[in-house]
Amino acid sequence: MNTLESEPPQSRSAGPASTPAFAEVAMPLHVFQTFTYRLNPALGAQAEVGARIVVPLGRKLVTGYIVSLQDEAPPTLNEIDIKDAQSLVDVEPVCSPEILQLARWVAEYYACPLGEVIKAALPPGMSPSGKRAFVKPKLRRFVRLVNPEAEKLTEAQQRVVKTLTDKGPTSLRALCDAAGVGASTVASLAKKQLVEIYDETVRRDPLAHAANLKREAFTLTPAQSTVLEVIERQIAGASYSAFLLHGVTGSGKTEVYIRAMRSALNLGRSSMMLVPEIALTPVFSRRLRAEFGDQVAIFHSSLQKGERFDEWTRVKNGDARIVIGTRSAVFAPVRKLGLIVVDEEHESSYRQQESPYYNARDTAIVRAQKESATVVLGSATPSLESFYNARHGKYALLALPERIGARPMASATMIDMRNVFARHGKPRVFSDELLEAIRDTHARNEQSIILLNRRGYSRFILCRSCGETIQCPNCDLTLTYHRSERVIVCHYCNHRQPVPGVCPACGKKYIYYVGEGTEQLEEMLTQFFPTLRVARIDRDTTARRTVFEKSLSDFSAGEIDTLVGTQMLAKGHDFPNVTLVGVVSVDTGLALPDFRSAERTFQLITQVAGRAGRGDRPGRVLIQTYHPYHYALRHACAQDYDGFYNEEINYRKNHSYPPFVALATVLVHGPDLGRVRADSLELRKQLDLANEDRKCRILGPAPAPLARLKNEHRFQLLIKSRSRKQVRELADAALKAATDKGINLRSVNLEIDPVSIM
Ligand code: ADP
Ligand code: ZN
């Protein structure tokens, strides 16, 4: 394993005379080491760092990435043990020196294999295994006229010539259709050299069918202008600088980002804008398209492979200079980077939840440093870490404290569900206050958003006779009832089974559904208010991009009165006619055994409250809770970020959590409980041995809060220290020692700076 401060291997001095004889290759796999291969003179003459190369690994051929070239074999290797590389995939590297350098940083900092990082940095389909094919540009046959002056043509041939004269170069298919001929007619003309058939790359454009937005020209508010000027000055200065833009929802941050990108472009520099979720991307990307046209490329995982490849290629060629995308867009091969915007920087989706475990926000900071660019982290609810960094001078703090047009922030009120319970003698999903507010809003022809962070119909199924709840066979979780599909589903592993008619444990019929989900809310609202047009937005309804976009656009057009959904609803969308936001429950979120649960809840409430009253009419927010005195809820209701920050930062300090310490989790997982427990105890032993000087604090092993997932048991250890370097060195040493003791690193996940410790 690598150490934190190691320098990349010395690259050879490039000269026309020298042909490298060896290549160091990183594999797109979860293996930490790199491999050296011999290059024959022909390969050596063409090989470049950052190109893909096919090499033997075990008995297979694998496509890896050249990460360095050498004239001599590394002294640690025996020359006869070195295998020959098979063939080069690229003449031109797919991974530029800048991206390779960034990938090296990610691999070092997050302790993950370099090849896995490079793979994540490239569009999918660039490193196929086995017989799967590479993604390639899409070609289409085109025909153009080269010599119209021909004689003695058949009628069909004349029609072809006429069509080409009228239309200019045309795709073969369109030409055949227009002229009413078969491809053989065109082929015969090509033979006579009257026309030429050739291949043209056609671009797969993810926004091809998106409606175009009209770009509105605003005059910036004085607050926006001040912020923009500061950012522009740094972009012009062309050295690294980092900002945290703390702007309340609706304060015009996005407008500032767009103008800053425009300034960068005017200076000949490219920009990237990272957004947390695909849900936000269609709205944003159209707004950017309206401003920058074809200069915009879009990167996110729900695009088809071909579309992703083409967008990446346009960026690599310099045809697109503005990138908008989710997490992996931080590796977009933009050249002359001037600006990176990380919107909603507090979002945990910037963190990849599988190896390589990197955080795109933090990677963006490092990229800006390495490429002398300006980085702007923006949020209405900055993460504790970022705000702490801004307070301590690591980032410059910029603020947009007011909404555009001096629109007031929505007024938020808590509804104490303990009183509601006392009043009715039983729990209620909707309090009378919330129902009344929905009714009034509807009567005024205004819209409402109802939030509940739980999809499905019922949280779990309980047998009232024997008390049995139905658990996922693979995970430590109850199955959620999804009524429309008549199944019960595990929200972690997606295990599905039909709804039982009788209790599987006792065979009796007293099956009972407990805990409402979004699907049930939707149904209840339609029952309460027959004229209310309700739509639902959650991961079940948004599996297809088109359905999701349609719900949003119908809501935007006023064809839907109420949107019910999960936290997907809380962000980004701008609906001026929404005057009511109701939060049905946040209590499960508050109760999660994670040091970030208060922060998350505060962010969620503040963000969703920001959806109300974005138009001319004031907004209202109602929050139902059994914990009305919780500080996260109190400060969220008061829209008081500073108040929340001050309380939360004290808690973090007193309990030694980030940002006061660096944190790492070591998760041991596997199908055999005894093995997992033994391995995690061995790891603890090795951590203690490596921690002789007691510079780190080690906790655990203990069963992880989600103790079994996807048929695997999970034990967790925590490492804390004031110095991140020490955490990394300790983890490295312990994992290395553990490997020597026979522990398989595939069953150990090391996460540096985890966003959650569940
Ligand atoms: P944020 O990103 O902070 O939530 P937006 O940039 O989306 O805010 O701005 C909120 C709304 O105000 C949007 O509808 C936007 O078009 C509009 N807006 C932004 N800046 C101005 C301005 N200077 N004058 C008028 N309207 C503006
Ligand atoms: Zn499961």
> What tokens appear for 725 in the block?
């370097």
- pLDDT band for position 43 (cuts 50, 70, 90): very high
Q: Is the CB of 381 under 6 A from ligand 1?
A: no
Atom of ligand 1 nearest to the CA of 247: 3
CB of 224 sitting under 6 A from ligand 1: yes
124: pLDDT strictly greater than 70: yes
CB-proximal residues (5 Å) to ion ligand 2? 472, 474-475, 490, 492-493, 495
- 144 bridge partner residues: 196
**Ligand 2 geometric centre to CA of 470 (Å):** 11
Atom of ligand 1 nearest to the CA of 343: 2
Minimum mean pLDDT among 7-16, 184-193, 324-333, 378-387: which range?
A: 7-16
% residues pLDDT > 90 (the chain): 51
The answer to whether residue 40 scores a pLDDT higher than 90 is: yes
Pick from 72-81, 459-468, 546-555, 598-607 the range whose average pLDDT is largest. Answer: 598-607
Determine which of 91-95, 189-193, 337-341, 467-471 has the lowest per-residue pLDDT on average.
467-471
For residue 249, give the ligand 1 atom closest to its CA.
Answer: 4
Q: How far is the CA of 662 from the centre of ligand 2 (A)?
A: 31
Give the mean pLDDT of 585-612.
84
Q: Which atom of ligand 1 is nearest to the CA of 400?
A: 3
Confidence band of 212 (pLDDT split at 50, 70, 90): low
How many Å is the Cα radius of gyration of the chain? Answer: 29
Taking the centre of ligand 2 as the mean of its atom positions, its distance from the CA of residue 484, in whole angstroms, is 20
| Ligand 1 contact, 232 CB (< 6 A) | no
Provide the pLDDT confidence category of residue 211 given band limits of 50, 70 and 90. Answer: low
Which atom of ligand 1 is found nearest the CA of 380? 3
Q: What is the mean pLDDT of residues 546-551?
A: 77
Q: Over range 493-501, report the average pLDDT.
A: 84
CB of residue 611 inside a 6 A radius of ligand 1: no
290: Cβ below 6 Å to ligand 1?
Answer: no
Burial 639-653 (b: 16+ CB within 10 A, else e): bebeebbebbbeebe
Give the three-class secondary structure for 153: coil
Contact 248, 639 (CB under 8 A): yes
pLDDT of residue 210 exceeding 90: no
Ligand 1 pocket, residue 252 CB under 6 Å: yes
Residue nearest to atom 10 of ligand 1 (CA): 250
Residue 131 reports pLDDT greater than 60: no
| Sequence-distant (≥ 6) Cβ neighbours of residue 164 within 8 angstroms | 143, 144, 145, 148, 170, 175, 195
| pLDDT in the model for residue 457 | 66
The pLDDT confidence band at residue 445, using thresholds 50, 70 and 90, is very high
| Cα(286)–Cα(554) distance, integer angstroms | 17
User: What order do you get walking across the sheet with 578-585 strand by strand?
Assistant: 411-416, 620-625, 578-585, 447-452, 562-565, 534-537
Residue from 214, 215, 249, 254 to probe ligand 1 pocket by mutation (most atoms less than 8 Å from CB)? 254
Q: Rounded mean pLDDT of 155-175?
A: 88
Closest CA to 620 of 440, 439, 412: 412
Q: Which atom of ligand 1 is nearest to the CA of 224?
A: 23
Side chain identity, residue 512: Y
Local confidence band at 541 (pLDDT 50, 70, 90 cut-offs) = low
Q: What is the pLDDT, as a whole number, of residue 664? A: 93
Give the closest residue (by CA) to ligand 1 atom 4: 250
How far is the centre of ligand 2, averaged over its atoms, from the C-alpha of 489 (Å)?
8
Which pLDDT belongs to residue 495? Answer: 85
Pairing of strands 662-670, 458-463: unpaired
| Bridge partner list, 53 | 64, 88
Beta carbons of 95 and 84 less than 8 angstroms apart: no
- Per DSSP, the chain holds a count of helices (H) and strands (E) of 22, 31
* Residue 8: band (very low, low, confident or very high) from pLDDT cuts 50, 70, 90: very low
| Nearest residue by C-alpha to atom 5 in ligand 1 | 252
Condensed to tens digits (0 to 9), the pLDDT of residues 251-270 reads 999 999 999 999 999 999 99
Instruction: State the distance from the centre of ligand 2 to the C-alpha of 495, rounded, in angstroms.
Output: 5
SS (H, E, C) 186-227: HHHHHHCCCEEEEEEEECCCCCCCCCCCCCCCCCCCHHHHHH
Measured in whole angstroms, the distance separating CA 265 from the mean position of its chain's CA atoms is 25
Q: Output the pLDDT for position 132.
A: 56
- Lowest average pLDDT, out of 40-49, 130-139, 477-486, goes to 130-139
What percent of the chain is predicted at pLDDT more than 70? 92
What pLDDT is attached to residue 215?
Answer: 65
Residue 370, pLDDT > 60, answer: yes
Q: Is 28 exposed, middle or buried (CB count within 10 Å of its CB: 0-12, 13-18, 19+)?
A: buried
* Predicted model pTM: 0.85
CB of 610 closer than 6 A to ligand 1?
no
Q: Which atom of ligand 1 is nearest to the CA of 572?
A: 4
Confidence of residue 304 (pLDDT cuts 50, 70, 90): confident
CA 73 to chain centre: 40
Instruction: Answer whether 379 contacts ligand 1 (Cβ < 6 A).
Output: no
Q: Comparing 127-131, 440-444, 612-616, which segment has the lowest mean pLDDT?
A: 127-131
Q: What is the pLDDT of residue 542?
A: 62
538 lines ligand 1 (CB under 6 A): no
- Tens digit of each residue's pLDDT (9 = 90 or more) over 60-119: 889 999 999 999 988 888 888 899 999 999 888 999 999 999 999 999 999 999 999 999
| Confidence band, pLDDT 50/70/90 cuts, at residue 734 | very high
620-630 mean pLDDT: 92
Per DSSP, the residues of 366-409 read HHHHHTT-EEEEEESS--HHHHHHHHTTSSEEEEE-S-GGGPPP
- Of residues 574 and 100, the one with the higher pLDDT is 100
Give the closest residue to 246 by CA, choosing from 112, 381, 97, 426: 381
How confident is the model at residue 214, as a pLDDT?
Answer: 66
Centre of ligand 2 from the C-alpha of residue 277, in Å: 24
Give the residue-averaged pLDDT of 642-647. Answer: 96
In the prediction, which pLDDT does 276 show? 87
Say if ligand 1 is within 6 A of residue 250 CB.
yes
